Structure 1
Amino acid sequence: MVVEIIRYDIAPESAQHFITAYTEAGTYLNRSPHCLSYEIINGVEEPNHFIIRIEWESMEGHMQGFRRSPEFQHFFAGVKPFFNAILEMKHYSVIAASDR
């Protein structure tokens, strides 16, 4: 498994549009066999900061599977207006985790 983290700085007047766009785009993540789960997280201290956390079954599944699928085209069309607000977009390996 690999975790993709996308950090955004979203202007307050665009926050609801951002949330709606990612919620709708999430339907295409759910359709992909390569996506295990995703989260939309909003900063408490800095409400203009958002994190999208996506668990992929593998790096190849994300980059070669999802990104070459019809689902990606729909997903990207929905979130593309926020592309310039990205602060970070990287993949991480999970070292330790707990489900409580």
Structure 2
Amino acid sequence: MILEAVMLQVKQGMEKEYEEAFREASKIISSMKGYISHELQRCMEVKGKYLLLVKWESLEDHTVGFRHSKEYQDWKTQLHHFYDPFPTVEHFENAHL
């Protein structure tokens, strides 16, 4: 299992609209092969800042399966116009310590 982590900054004044769009777009990501779970956390200190955490069975399920799919194009259309700046996506694995 890998964890996709993304710090998102939503354009000022668009937070409510973003959360509604994200709720709808969640149907897309949750239907993808290799998807395990996701959560969107709202920052308490910085307005418009969110943390997206998505668990995938493998890195390729996200980077190839999702990102190269028709569904990803719908995801982009619904969500990417909210972000400024555009976010950096990082992937993490359990360190087994």
SS in 1 for 2:55: strand
* Inter-partner Cα distance in structure 2 for 1:93 and 1:6: 14
User: TM-score normalized by structure 2?
Assistant: 0.84
Alignment root-mean-square deviation, CA? 1.8
Kindly state the Cα deviation for residue 95 of structure 1 after the two structures are TM-superposed. Answer: 3.3
Kindly state the Cα deviation for residue 11 of structure 1 after the two structures are TM-superposed. Answer: 3.9
Contact 2:40 2:51 in 1 (8 A): yes
**What percentage of residue pairs aligned between the two structures are identical?**
22
The residue that corresponds to 1:42 in the other structure is: 42
Structure 1 stretches of at least 4 aligned residues deviating more than 4 Å after TM superposition: none
Gaps of 5+ in 2: none
The residue that corresponds to 2:70 in the other structure is: 70
Gaps of 5+ in 1: none
Kindly state the Cα deviation for residue 41 of structure 1 after the two structures are TM-superposed. Answer: 0.5
Kindly state the Cα deviation for residue 57 of structure 1 after the two structures are TM-superposed. Answer: 1.0
Does 2:21 match 1:24? Answer: no
Does 2:10 match 1:10? Answer: yes
* Inter-partner Cα distance in structure 1 for 2:84 and 2:44: 22
Contact 2:9 2:83 in 1 (8 A): no
* Inter-partner Cα distance in structure 2 for 1:24 and 1:42: 17
Q: Which has the higher helix share?
A: 1
User: TM-score normalized by structure 1?
Assistant: 0.82
Contact 1:6 1:86 in 2 (8 A): no
